């Protein structure tokens, strides 16, 4: 069978990314232009600034994806693009570019849900994940548990009621003056401290065993910090370590509980927070005790990228699930 080459385009947040993936598996190029340094001076992603950077960078990023793969524009079979969820103005840049590019090449357009892409990042790297599985999707915008029959069929069994895990990391990091983005900042500070020296609650929500809530933990961390400051000689690294521990423990415990209830042998972690070392370690340790295998993408595929977009779109290409030219972008999640 002929190889299928798909160009993926991703602009849902603050990364302008393009990638070419062969047969949904082999990454031929993976180009990412990150705006982190620009948004850092604002203390978080500014949607209008992100959109402005996307329109400036999109053409160069796409061109580089072809150069890195050693391919011409005409060599690709389809164009896949993230059209939800994300910052609407940012999504529209990638979507509009993808439409123009696909239309002018007379190639099909494929619409991709960004979170499906994150989940698929696991498939890109691990050839034989045993399904069914439980997947923990953790990012700046989402914290969800999925029960997956296979990569294309799954049900949401729990979500966060308030802040997403990544959002809690960002807010607490900003409050503690640790900088942006919050996940890596807290992880770095936590490495110098010790969890348990100060105490934060673990929020399990007994009645809804697979739902999450992080806003209480966030507030508790902020209040504790104020108290520590008042009492003198506060150690920010100890608070960061305890905060990370409290958040990660809940994520891990609920994931394993779900895996046991649904009797699956594998847990997948997806999304930007999947890059957190402590989450990866603790999940592997605790799941290992239950003979459950844990899969997570390598660090470079945890954060936003277009390889995951081009990868998951392969199935849509095969089933001819093409998107129409009037495809729109959606900021919120219609369905996971």
Partner 1 sequence: MLILAVDSSTPVAGAALVDEDRVIIESFTNYKKTHSETLLPTVNRIMRECDCSISDIDVLAVTAGPGSFTGLRIGMAAVKGISMAADKPVVAVSTLDTLAGNIAGSDALVCALLDARKNEVYCGFYEVGGTRPEILKEPMVCTPETFLNAALELAAYKHKDKIILLGDGYYRYSEYFNIELKDQLLPMPGHLMLPRAAAAGILAVHKARQGEFEDVYHLRPLYIRLSEAEYRLGKGAV
The contact set with Zn ion (CB under 5 A) reads: 139, 304
Other beta carbons within 10 angstroms of residue 192's beta carbon come to 12
Least CB distance from residue 304 to Zn ion, whole Å? 4
Q: Could you give the strand order of the β-sheet that contains 5-10, starting from the edge strand earlier in sequence?
A: 26-34, 15-22, 5-10, 78-84, 109-113
Q: Which of 13, 21, 98, 124 binds partner 1 (CB under 8 A)?
A: 98
Q: Using the rule CB under 8 A, is 166 a contact of partner 1?
A: no
Q: Using the rule CB under 8 A, is 96 a contact of partner 1?
A: yes
Element (H, E) at 144: strand 143-150
Residue number with CB closer to partner 1 (93 or 189): 93
Other beta carbons within 10 angstroms of residue 220's beta carbon come to 17
Least CB distance from residue 206 to Zn ion, whole Å? 30
Q: Give the tokens for residue 311.
A: 């990868």
Least CB distance from residue 175 to partner 1, whole Å? 20
Query: By the 8 A CB rule, do 288 and 256 touch?
Result: no
Q: Using the rule CB under 8 A, is 176 a contact of partner 1?
A: no
Q: Which does 99 bind (CB under 5 to 8 A by kind): Zn ion, partner 1, none?
A: partner 1
Least CB distance from residue 263 to partner 1, whole Å? 44
Q: Using the rule CB under 8 A, is 38 a contact of partner 1?
A: yes
Query: By the 8 A CB rule, do 222 and 177 touch?
Result: no
- Helices 114-125 and 307-318, axial angle in degrees (round to 10): 90
Q: How far apart are CA 171 and CA 169, in angstroms?
A: 6
Q: Which of 22, 99, 118, 284 binds partner 1 (CB under 8 A)?
A: 99
Q: How far apart are CA 323 and CA 316, in angstroms?
A: 9
Q: How far apart are CA 244 and CA 189, in angstroms?
A: 10
Least CB distance from residue 276 to partner 1, whole Å? 28
Least CB distance from residue 302 to Zn ion, whole Å? 9
Residue number with CB closer to Zn ion (57 or 237): 57
Query: By the 8 A CB rule, do 85 and 54 touch?
Result: no
Q: Which of 17, 27, 93, 302 binds partner 1 (CB under 8 A)?
A: 93
Q: Which of 4, 23, 55, 331 binds partner 1 (CB under 8 A)?
A: 55
Q: Which of 36, 73, 197, 285 binds partner 1 (CB under 8 A)?
A: 73
Q: Which does 36 bind (CB under 5 to 8 A by kind): partner 1, Zn ion, none?
A: none
Q: How far apart are CA 336 and CA 200, in angstroms?
A: 31
Residue number with CB closer to partner 1 (131 or 322): 322
Task: Please name the residues in contact with 132: beta carbons below 8 A apart, sequence gap of 6 or more.
Answer: 147, 148, 149, 150, 262, 264
Which residue stretches of the chain are H helix? 36-40, 47-69, 88-105, 114-125, 165-175, 182-190, 215-231, 236-261, 277-289, 299-302, 307-318
Q: Which of 18, 62, 115, 168 binds partner 1 (CB under 8 A)?
A: 62
Least CB distance from residue 39 to partner 1, whole Å? 9
Q: How far apart are CA 225 and CA 194, in angstroms?
A: 15
Q: Which does 329 bind (CB under 5 to 8 A by kind): partner 1, Zn ion, none?
A: partner 1
| Cα→Cα distances 109→79, 92, 290, 316, 334, Å | 5, 14, 43, 10, 20
Least CB distance from residue 120 to partner 1, whole Å? 24
Q: Which does 304 bind (CB under 5 to 8 A by kind): partner 1, Zn ion, none?
A: Zn ion
Residue number with CB closer to partner 1 (18 or 198): 18
By CB under 8 A, name the binding residues for partner 1. Answer: 38, 41-42, 46, 48-49, 51-52, 54-56, 58-60, 62-63, 73, 88-89, 92-105, 325-329
């Amino acid at each position: 069978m002929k190889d299928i080459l798909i160009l993926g385009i991703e602009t849902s947040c603050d990364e302008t990314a393009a990638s070419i993936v062969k047969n949904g598996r082999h990454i031929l190029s993976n180009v990412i232009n990150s705006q982190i340094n620009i948004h850092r001076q604002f203390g978080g992603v500014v949607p209008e600034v992100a959109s402005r950077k996307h329109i400036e960078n999109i053409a160069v990023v796409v061109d580089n994806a072809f150069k890195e793969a050693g391919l011409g524009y005409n060599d690709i079979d389809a164009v896949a693009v993230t059209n939800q969820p994300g910052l609407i103005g940012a999504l529209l840049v990638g979507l509009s570019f993808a439409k123009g590019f696909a239309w002018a090449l007379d190639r099909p357009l494929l619409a991709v849900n960004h979170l499906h892409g994150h989940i698929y990042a696991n498939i890109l790297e691990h050839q034989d994940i045993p399904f069914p599985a439980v997947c923990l999707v953790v990012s700046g915008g989402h914290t969800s548990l999925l029960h997956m029959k296979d990569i294309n069929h799954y049900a949401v069994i729990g979500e966060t009621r308030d802040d997403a895990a990544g959002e809690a990391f960002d807010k607490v990091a900003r409050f503690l003056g640790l900088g942006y983005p919050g996940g890596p900042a807290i992880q770095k500070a936590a490495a110098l401290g010790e969890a348990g020296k100060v105490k934060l609650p673990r929020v399990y929500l007994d009645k809804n065993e697979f739902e999450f809530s992080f806003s209480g933990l966030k507030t508790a961390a902020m209040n504790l910090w104020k108290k520590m400051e008042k009492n003198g000689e506060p150690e920010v690294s100890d608070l960061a370590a305890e905060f990370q521990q409290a958040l990660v423990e809940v994520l891990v415990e609920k994931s394993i509980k779900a895996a046991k209830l649904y009797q699956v042998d594998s847990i997948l972690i997806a999304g930007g927070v999947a890059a957190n070392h402590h989450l990866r370690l603790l999940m592997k340790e605790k799941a290992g005790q239950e003979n459950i295998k844990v899969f997570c993408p390598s660090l470079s595929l945890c954060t936003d990228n277009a390889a995951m977009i081009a990868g998951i779109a392969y199935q849509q290409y095969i089933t001819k699930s093409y998107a129409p030219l009037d495809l729109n972008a959606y900021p919120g999640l219609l369905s996971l």
